[in-house]
Amino acid sequence: MPNLSLSGLKNLRINLNLHLKKEPEEAIPPPAPKSIPRGLKVIEKYSLYEPFCHVIIVQNPKTGEHKYILDELQLDPLERDVYHRILEILLAEIESPKEEIADPRRFFAEAAKKIVDKYRISLGWLPDVSWYKILYHAERDLVGFGKIDPLMRDPNIEDISCDGVNKPVYIWHRNHESIETNLQFENDEILDNMVVKLVHMAGKHVSTAFPIVDASLPGKHRLAVCYRREITPFGTAFTIRKFKEDPYSIIDLINIGTFSEEMAAYLWVCLENRASVMVLGGTAAGKTTALNALGCLIKPGSKIMTIEETAELNLSHENWVSLIARQSYGLGGSSVGEVALFDLVKTCMRHRPDLMIVGEVRGQEAYVLFQALATGHGGMCTMHAENVESAVKRLTQKPMDISPAYIPLMNIVMSVQRVHLVKNGEKKAFRRVLSVNEILDYEKYVHPFKWDPLKDEHQMSLESSAQITSIAERLGMNVEDVHAEINRRRNVLCWMRTQKIRSYRDVATVIAEYYARPKQFYEKVLSEKEAKPVAVNRNA
Ligand SMILES: Nc1ncnc2c1ncn2[C@@H]1O[C@H](COP(=O)(O)OP(=O)(O)OP(=O)(O)O)[C@@H](O)[C@H]1O
Ligand SMILES: [Mg+2]
């Protein structure tokens, strides 16, 4: 579970007040499934936080639909009464920490336990197990994410979304895709209070005057909110894109078949030689993840500036500046106080970055990014588009409005997609890089890599690559030398897989070593390279 930031604790009093002013129904838990509804088949069971919450995933054999049943220990009426009184005492007694602390959850748990020990006798006798439950609920509701806290603990969940009041909360589960849960918000007040709390945790403000908020929750989870019935007639809606604490590295993405080794090695050489790269894909296709994984390959020491609407990128480079856009705090159509992506890209140019990474281009910031590419800066970004043709169409139309003559400044455009494949007799969703294209000229592309859906393999045709030719020319080398370098790097990537080096940090360390002492490091790789290559687990 990620640590909650200090802002989570600083808002403790606000959260406490929100909880205290609520009528008892607020805490009415989702029905704990003592038995699975008849006719449903249990597909999977796992624990989220022993002994407090478990998950049961069931399937309706008739419709094939899955449901995520959260089985969370609930408070009985007596415990609930004590829980409410404890919240009042906590409000009066707990002190916000004066400085940044590493683990706010632990801080809260320890402080709350001391207070509980002090008042335990005066609150009436309860068995130890009841106190554990009360403390679990207090922590969940005050420093955790409230009712959705157990979902935030589930590493299998990618997204959590609530469409309104009295509607089941949906999740995107890594194994079962979009499924309904047994959680829902019974009325507007409960839902609105919970969302206000989340927005406060993100250090932002939401109200009927400002009903749209995009924010970053503690733990870097991306939160999008439409508040009350101002713009969402079914009531407050929110979506959380959960942040993966242990981000996918380029090796992870090779191991699960999203990239091929050759493709990663080719991109590694191109990135080192300042090629600009754009990652395309639909919603939740894995664009940001692919962009972040490519970050592993960037030369250490390069000055990297990232520009995002909400902080999602997670690089291990020391010389990295992260710029995050700020929403306006003016009323109506006013943009007072707003710092848009466009402003950030312009600012970024003055900081002389080696590489500028824009999380997602949508508007005028694309124009400035291409200006930056024209002046020799390196650039990477993602864009919502299905393929290179539609991306170029979007880029050359308003509001991006990039002249067709500038389009080839984006050297490499790769598209990622969520694809459905049948593996071991079961249809599942996977992410694959569908193609890596080089832009030679406006509407003129070559495809050094293409994914073959029948074989679930990436086909390589590097002889078509203009990037390799241009790198060779720039470095005064033969094209064969560049191919040989790509092959060496492929072997380094393969070696990392055999050595089970996969975490983002470890991969970045190896890459740094290769940059520092390529010859010696490669000799080591060759001497340790196992004869048997590691199999890619494309079923993961
Ligand atoms: N190659 C992959 N294999 C498995 N899961 C992946 C892969 N790439 C991304 N994911 C998961 O898919 C979810 C969406 O990924 P990501 O945020 O990168 O998508 P996106 O295309 O940037 O989405 P958006 O359009 O919302 O910005 C995340 O939970 C991420 O962990
Ligand atoms: Mg994204």
Quote the domain boundaries for residue 447: 250-528
Residue 373 inside a domain? The answer is yes
Portion of the chain with pLDDT greater than 90, in percent: 72
From the centroid of its chain, how far is CA 19?
29
Looking only at the bridges linking them, the beta strands covering 277-281 and 412-423 are parallel
| Burial of residue 37 (number of CB atoms within 10 Å: 0-12, 13-18, 19+) | exposed
Identify the CA nearest to 269 among candidates 304, 300, 299, 231: 299
CATH number at residue 454: 3.40.50.300
Portion of the chain with pLDDT greater than 70, in percent: 91
The DSSP secondary structure of 484-504, one letter per residue, reads: HHHHHHHHHHHHHHHTT--SH
CA 45 to ligand 2 center in whole angstroms:
30
* Relative orientation angle of helices 77-93 and 104-119, to the nearest 10 degrees: 110
Arithmetic mean of pLDDT over the chain: 89
Q: Is the dihedral of CA 96, 155, 304, 251 positive or negative?
A: positive
Q: Is the dihedral of CA 164, 146, 98, 85 positive or negative?
A: positive
- Residue 494: what pLDDT? 96
Residue 451 inside a domain? The answer is yes
Ligand 1 pocket member 289 (CB < 6 A): yes
- SS3 of 108, please? helix
User: Using CA atoms, how far apart are residues 297 and 292, in angstroms rounded to an integer?
Assistant: 10
Per residue in 123-165, pLDDT tens? Answer: 888 888 999 999 999 999 988 999 999 999 999 999 999 999 9
- Contact status, residue 538 vs residue 256, Cβ threshold 8 Å: yes
Give all strands (DSSP E) within 304-425, no chain letters: 304-308, 320-324, 355-358, 378-384, 412-423
- Residue 450: what pLDDT? 97
Residue 515 inside a domain? The answer is yes
Residue 521 inside a domain? The answer is yes
What is the CB neighbour count within 10 angstroms for residue 283? 8
User: Using CA atoms, how far apart are residues 13 and 94, in angstroms rounded to an integer?
Assistant: 9
Starting from the CA of residue 246, give the closest ligand.
Answer: 1
- Residue 7: what pLDDT? 43
Identify the CA nearest to 439 among candidates 462, 407, 415, 461: 407
Residue 345 inside a domain? The answer is yes
Ligand 1 atom nearest residue 285's Cα: 21
Residue 183 inside a domain? The answer is no
CA 20 to ligand 2 center in whole angstroms:
37
* Residue ID of nearest Cα to ligand 1 atom 25: 283
The answer on pLDDT for 8 being more than 60 is no
CA 289 to ligand 1 center in whole angstroms:
5
User: Using CA atoms, how far apart are residues 380 and 368, in angstroms rounded to an integer?
Assistant: 13
Q: Show the tokens assigned to 382.
A: 């993602």
- Residue 535: what pLDDT? 59
Ligand 1 pocket member 431 (CB < 6 A): yes
CA 272 to ligand 2 center in whole angstroms:
24
pLDDT higher for 532 or 467? 467
Starting from the CA of residue 154, give the closest ligand.
Answer: 1
CA 358 to ligand 2 center in whole angstroms:
11
Average pLDDT over residues 215-232: 94
Ligand 1 pocket member 247 (CB < 6 A): no
Residue 363 inside a domain? The answer is yes
pLDDT higher for 332 or 110? 110
Ligand 1 pocket member 310 (CB < 6 A): no
Identify the CA nearest to 190 among candidates 307, 57, 25: 25
pLDDT higher for 446 or 125? 446
Which backbone phi and psi does 143 adopt, to 5 degrees?
A: -110, -10
Ligand 1 atom nearest residue 159's Cα: 29
Beta-bridged to residue 168, according to DSSP, are none
Ligand 1 pocket member 285 (CB < 6 A): yes
CA 288 to ligand 1 center in whole angstroms:
6
* Residue ID of nearest Cα to ligand 1 atom 1: 431
CA 198 to ligand 1 center in whole angstroms:
22
Beta-bridged to residue 224, according to DSSP, are 214, 239
Average pLDDT over residues 47-53: 94
* Residue ID of nearest Cα to ligand 1 atom 29: 158
- Residue 460: what pLDDT? 97
Per residue in 250-269, pLDDT tens? Answer: 999 999 999 999 999 999 99
Starting from the CA of residue 285, give the closest ligand.
Answer: 1
Residue 367 inside a domain? The answer is yes
- Residue 373: what pLDDT? 92
User: Using CA atoms, how far apart are residues 135 and 108, in angstroms rounded to an integer?
Assistant: 10
- Residue 22: what pLDDT? 43
CA 222 to ligand 2 center in whole angstroms:
10
What is the CB neighbour count within 10 angstroms for residue 164? 18
CA distances from 255 to 398, 501, 536 (A): 39, 11, 5
**What confidence category does residue 91 fall into, taking pLDDT thresholds of 50, 70 and 90?**
confident
Q: Structural domain tally of the chain? A: 1
Starting from the CA of residue 173, give the closest ligand.
Answer: 1
| Burial of residue 24 (number of CB atoms within 10 Å: 0-12, 13-18, 19+) | exposed
Per residue in 456-488, pLDDT tens? Answer: 999 999 999 999 999 999 999 999 999 999 999
